[in-house]
Amino acid sequence: MLRVERVSKQFDHSPTPLFSDINLSLGKGQSLAIMGASGSGKSTLLNMIAGLSTCSSGRIFLADQTISIMSEDKRDSFRAEHIGMVFQQFNLIDCLCVEDNILLPARYLGIPPRRSVDELLAALGITTLKRASIDKLSGGEQQRVAIARALIHSPSLILADEPTGNLDENTSNKVADLLFALAKETSASLLVVTHAPDVAKLADETRMIYQGSLQPI
Ligand SMILES: Nc1ncnc2c1ncn2[C@@H]1O[C@H](COP(=O)(O)OP(=O)(O)OP(=O)(O)O)[C@@H](O)[C@H]1O
């Protein structure tokens, strides 16, 4: 369960807050799409939830722990254990094959993967690419690998920042369907930042960052 309470963000040297009083909660298996104009703060909010950026005020809770008061080291290990991230740019490692990319989070944690690589590859329709090198894959295939990597440690929360922004419309819809279906199947909470209405409509709820707060659409 994710809970964001009265969170605000003001960057150093900025005269005004980017946003203030952001509140949201997301239960197991629930999904939320966040939309909003470019520069409204969508990625910043996602980064704060991931513990990659600090809150100016307010609190963020996940898995009964308060992310917003953790030290940086604790946030790193907490993120590795509880959060799976999918980015627009895929963020895969070119010199590793598909399987090794997927196994990275488990190796970072020094634990056996909590899910089977083969089952994830099958669910994502990329079984034949297990040993392929990343630079030989299409954008849609790379994003499927990134989704498998985000899910390998069975995170309680998946954060996806414009996960289909680099894909054509048809591929985008297929990849988004898979992301939402796999999150639901594993009862993970899913928070997706997107500009694509077709992707947002797959979520249980859509909200928009507008004038510094998170508003229902
Ligand atoms: N580290 C930082 N220091 C100062 N300002 C920042 C920093 N990171 C982001 N910003 C500013 O905060 C604002 C929001 O950025 P953010 O990337 O969160 O927007 P976004 O809604 O995700 O935009 P887009 O849809 O274009 O990706 C922007 O004006 C950006 O320049």
pLDDT in tens, 177-190: 999 999 999 999 99
Question: Taken in order 52, 178, 98, 103, is the CA torsion positive or negative?
Answer: positive
Span from the CA of 166 to the centroid of ligand 1 (angstroms): 19
pLDDT of residue 109: 80
Give, rounded to a whole angstrom, the gap between the first and last alpha carbons of the chain.
22
Q: Whose CA is nearest to atom 29 of ligand 1?
A: 39
What does the pLDDT look like over 82-96, one tens digit per residue? 999 999 999 999 999
Contact by Cβ (8 Å): 216, 22: no
- Adjacent-strand bridge partners of 160: 86, 192
pLDDT band, residue 108 (cuts 50/70/90)? confident
Q: Which atom of ligand 1 is nearest to the CA of 195?
A: 25
pLDDT of residue 5: 96
pLDDT of residue 105: 85
User: Which tokens is 200 given?
Assistant: 């947002």
Is residue 112's pLDDT more than 90? no
Q: How far apart are CA 80 and CA 57, in angstroms?
A: 24
Q: How far apart are CA 119 and CA 38, in angstroms?
A: 37
- Residue 204 half-sphere exposure toward CB, CA atoms < 13 A: 14
User: Measured from the CB, is residue 11 less than 6 Å from ligand 1?
Assistant: yes
User: Measured from the CB, is residue 34 less than 6 Å from ligand 1?
Assistant: no
pLDDT band, residue 110 (cuts 50/70/90)? confident
Pocket test for ligand 1, best of 7, 9, 10, 18 (most atoms within 8 A of CB): 18
Q: pTM of the entire structure?
A: 0.95
pLDDT of residue 207: 97
pLDDT of residue 119: 95
What does the pLDDT look like over 136-176, one tens digit per residue? 999 999 999 999 999 999 999 999 999 999 999 999 999 99
Contact by Cβ (8 Å): 31, 77: no
User: Which tokens is 168 given?
Assistant: 């054509």
What does the pLDDT look like over 123-137, one tens digit per residue? 999 999 999 999 999
CATH number for the domain harbouring residue 171: 3.40.50.300
pLDDT of residue 106: 85
Q: How far apart are CA 29 and CA 188, in angstroms?
A: 5
Span from the CA of 18 to the centroid of ligand 1 (angstroms): 8
**Cα dist from 11 to 18, 113, 145, 186, whole Å:** 8, 37, 34, 36
What does the pLDDT look like over 33-84, one tens digit per residue? 999 999 999 999 999 999 999 999 999 999 999 999 999 999 998 999 999 9
pLDDT band, residue 111 (cuts 50/70/90)? confident
User: Measured from the CB, is residue 41 less than 6 Å from ligand 1?
Assistant: yes
Q: How many domains does the chain have?
A: 1
Q: Whose CA is nearest to atom 3 of ligand 1?
A: 11
Span from the CA of 186 to the centroid of ligand 1 (angstroms): 31
Pocket test for ligand 1, best of 12, 42, 192 (most atoms within 8 A of CB): 42
DSSP H helices, the chain, are 42-49, 72-82, 98-109, 117-123, 139-151, 169-185, 197-200
pLDDT band, residue 217 (cuts 50/70/90)? confident
pLDDT band, residue 212 (cuts 50/70/90)? confident
Parent domain of 196:
2-216
